[in-house]
Structure 1
């Protein structure tokens, strides 16, 4: 749902059960979205659905200054321990199409070295 405030266990269960009924075995939490609630992951565990978990970086140019990277580190130090005990987590993905974004925007096309270095610094933090 595009309105996170409307999420509830019943809606999650209906959605995830429909994935199971359609013979899906993996759900992706996209990096351009949000980290899901504990309810989502518990239901995936219960229903046997695997989760492809992106970190929340997608389709954009990100800074690599120390302040931003400190925020990234705090985010990862919170999210990974919160989620790692769920058997449904099948893989962690650092980002979605961030390296591709370097070629999408005029700013990054003209400053490719800068944005490649920024991507590399972010990627090393996520690893």
Structure 2
């Protein structure tokens, strides 16, 4: 049994279909997404860098993503207070416990993918507000 299947088997039976649907929807975003797994019940999704991390728990699926600044009228997006202190790259999370939450969650996952692709290469993700990174200027030689 591969590691991802072990992670899914770890979850309670009512959580497993949520994980399966979430995996399917993320992989359908485009054909370049790579799915990986860590030993700590995490499934990662990357294109050029990891844009989403799914933490499989017994009774819950936690999806960690980048803070893209998108509005959240449903209130499902939570800030991870200790992310910067722990050195984590993702600072927002979604806690899913039913299938009805998937479509709203995917809006944030897709935004995190676009953010990682288009914004992060030149920005500091650790800043409280996004700050354009400018490398120090080097004196020109004459």
Question: Normalising by the residue count of structure 1, what TM-score does the alignment of the two structures yield?
Answer: 0.23
Question: Normalising by the residue count of structure 2, what TM-score does the alignment of the two structures yield?
Answer: 0.22
